[in-house]
Amino acid sequence: MKKTFDFFKRLKKNNNREWFKEHKDEFLESKKEFEDLVQEIMVNMQSHDEIDTNRSKIFRIYRDVRFSKDKTPYNPYWRVAIYRSGKERRGTYYMHLESGRTVILGGFYGPEPADLLHIRKQLSLDPDALRKIINKASFKGYYGSMEGERLKTAPKGFEKDDPALDLIQHKSFYFRHEFSDKEVLDKAFPKTVSEGWKKIRPYFDYMTEILTTDLNGNPIG
């Protein structure tokens, strides 16, 4: 990803349409480099998950500046969301690639209200099953603690002394892992990312289970 890092380094110093137009060829080279990286990652991931390659999305670097005080037209980084195949597989993989700030994430970002309520009810009934997964040394050592926007108090319909309060306060449920530039530039990086996302599968599998069953454990639908 050296071409990409070099291009974005200069774009940060020249974030205007005139410079970008003059260096469009370099942008296209960076875009191709990132597309190839994503493709190789998804090929690696097929060994441990089912990926919906048609839905997976590379985000454009063009910024919508209409309602922003920052009028710079381009984001100096690449992002991609990789989706799992089928309704029976829940959870989204996400990567932000930027020199000094490359991260992979996995989880559930702003679930629909019905799903969010269902997740909270399930976790309120039995928070220990999820805690066992995310507090396991191998998981926590790689991903750290759960992240995502949280309420400051108990959600409506739940008690403030709910044993699962720290979990059900979340409005999004995801984990992250950061990489150094040296790791990103290593030729093994696609496999490294795939293996990193493989580590989150126990969490995805559990969340899939609670999202596809009712409070009695019976399949929904």
Tens digit of pLDDT for each residue in 49-80?
A: 999 988 999 999 999 988 888 999 999 999 99
The residue ranges of every structural domain in the chain are 2-211
Mean pLDDT for the chain? 96
- 211: CB partners within 8 A, 6+ apart: 90, 115, 118, 119
Tell me, what's the pLDDT at 136? 97
- Statement: residue 221 has pLDDT above 90: no
92 vs 204: CA distance, rounded Å:
9
Q: Residues 93-98: what's their mean pLDDT?
A: 98
pTM as predicted: 0.94
Is the pLDDT at 105 greater than 80, yes or no? yes
DSSP string for 37-58 = HHHHHHHHHTTTS-B-TTT-EE
